[in-house]
Amino acid sequence: MADKVSVRIPTVLRSHVDGQAKVDLAGGTVGEVLKGLLDAHQSLRGRLMDEQGEVNRFINIYLNDEDIRFLENLETPVKDGDTVMIVPSIAGG
């Protein structure tokens, strides 16, 4: 269980978290940290996750620069000082 994991919020979502670029939360896994974020900011709920609790497919979640789909997805354990990034996906190049 980590006491302080930073979640980086992209501009497009900041209006849902009182304008903050970064929110510190506690949790044992990426999923728990994000749940804490959604509990504190209800309007994010349907945007970040679908009804089945899966991450919106147009959003990528990174734990310290690694896409969580290459780790253990929402079950990936976190430790103090970790950074979770929420990044919208963009077109190719």
Partner 1 sequence: MSFVRGLECKECGAAYPVEPRMMCDACFGPLEVAYDYEALSKTVTRESIEAGPASLWRYRDLLPIEGEPLAGLRSGFTPLVRADRLAKKLGVRELYIKDDGANYPTFSYKDRVVAVALTRAMEFGFETVGCASTGNLAHSVAAHSAAAGLRSVILIPHDLEVGKVVGTLVFGPNLVKVRGNYDDVNRLCTQIADQYGWAIVNVNLRPYYTEGAKTHGFEIAEQLGWRLPQHTVVPVAGGTILPKIAKAYDEFTRLGLVQNDGAKIHAAQAAGCDPVIKAIEAGTERFKPQKPDTIARSIAIGNPADGPYAIRVVSESGGSGASATDREILEAIELLARTEAIFTEPAGGTTLAATIKLIESGRIPRDESICVCITGNGLKTIEVQEGRLPPVPVIEAKIGAFDELVDSGGVAENQGGLGPGGARINRETKWLTR
**Under the rule (CB under 8 A), what is the footprint of partner 1?**
10-12, 46-47, 56-60, 62, 65, 67, 69-70, 85, 87-93
In whole angstroms, give the CA distance from residue 52 to residue 76: 18
Closer CB to partner 1, 42 or 57, in the complex: 57
Least CB distance to partner 1 at residue 39 (A): 20
Closer CB to partner 1, 26 or 47, in the complex: 47
Q: Please check whether residue 82 is in contact with residue 6, taking contact to mean a CB–CB distance below 8 angstroms.
A: yes
* Amino acid in position 32: E
